[in-house]
Amino acid sequence: MFNILVCDDDREIVEAIEIYLAQEGYHVLKAYDGIEALEQMRKNEIHLLIIDVMMPRLDGIRATLKIREENSLPIIILSAKSEDADKILGLNIGADDYVAKPFNPLELVARVKSQLRRYTKLGSLAEESAKIYRNGGLELDDDRKEVTVDGQPVKLTPIEYNILLLLMRNQGKVFSIHQIYESIWNEEAYGAENTVAVHIRHIREKIEINPKEPRYLKVVWGIGYKMEKAGDGN
């Protein structure tokens, strides 16, 4: 059974989360600030951490950084400001997922499940950390956050990087603009069609020799975009 540490200075939120997680058969441990979280981590074997950003004494971001120094476990960060998503996921910090407050408890539970599934399936994180995706001359190293085209390093912005990562992780699979937006921004796509399209354009300018005839990042008319697998001549 999995032990999940929930850390938030609002006790009601912690209890609410506990109820939902307990329903799913998880064992819940509680902490009410970053210091307590660190203590709990030392004392118990924790399999997943849910932690709020804003807390007294030691906030969630700092706590996460501290914990990452010596532990590898899935960390889900709660935050009131959805704009922080990039920073948090952009992995300066090392969180695995991000949920905006106020959140739907079921969604949180879904993400917990998803993270646990991911970590257990791939064994320990160590195995997973060789995260290098290749496709023809295009290479993305998710440990170093580096992208190269035919050996030449390419500099992508965080959003561009995350979009490319999504597509490289699922080569051949088609993603709608809607899916891309929701996956990267973690919020409902509204009038964001062009936004994504522009980022696609920028990525193409950087990874394609001729953006007008993309070798890798192709459009699927009326549906979305995909990463074309090299040697799929069609």
Partner DNA sequence: CCCCATATTCAAAAATTCTTAAGAATTCCT
Partner DNA sequence: AGGAATTCTTAAGAATTTTTGAATATGGGG
Q: What are the residues binding a second copy (CB under 8 A)?
A: 20, 23-24, 70-74, 96-97, 104-107, 109-111, 114, 117-127, 143-145, 153, 157-159, 161, 166, 169-170, 172-175, 179, 183, 220-223, 226, 234
Instruction: Please provide the DSSP assignment of 173-197 as one string.
Output: --B-HHHHHHHHH-S--SS-HHHHH
Residue number, 57 or 169, with CB nearest to a second copy = 169
The number of CA neighbours under 13 Å toward the Cβ of 63 is 32
Residue of 94, 105, 137, 211 that binds DNA (CB under 7 A): 211
Q: What residues between 11 and 40 interact with DNA by CB under 7 A?
A: none
Residue 14's Cα: distance from chain center in Å? 23
Residue number, 150 or 193, with CB nearest to DNA = 193
Secondary structure of the chain: what % helix, strand, coil (to 5)?
40, 20, 35
Minimum CB–partner distance for residue 57 and a second copy (Å): 25
Residue number, 191 or 222, with CB nearest to a second copy = 222
What tokens were used for 130? 């060789």
Please report whether residue 155 would count as binding DNA according to CB under 7 A: yes
Angle at 220 between CA 214 and CA 223, to 5 degrees: 145
Please report whether residue 216 would count as binding DNA according to CB under 7 A: no
Residue number, 81 or 169, with CB nearest to DNA = 81
Name the segment binding DNA (CB under 7 A); options: 29-37, 113-121, 126-134, 188-196.
Answer: 188-196
Please report whether residue 222 would count as binding DNA according to CB under 7 A: yes
Residue partners of 25: CB distance under 8 A and separation at least 6: 1
Residue of 114, 148, 157, 186 that binds DNA (CB under 7 A): 157
Residue partners of 105: CB distance under 8 A and separation at least 6: 16, 17, 20
Angle at 151 between CA 146 and CA 153, to 5 degrees: 40
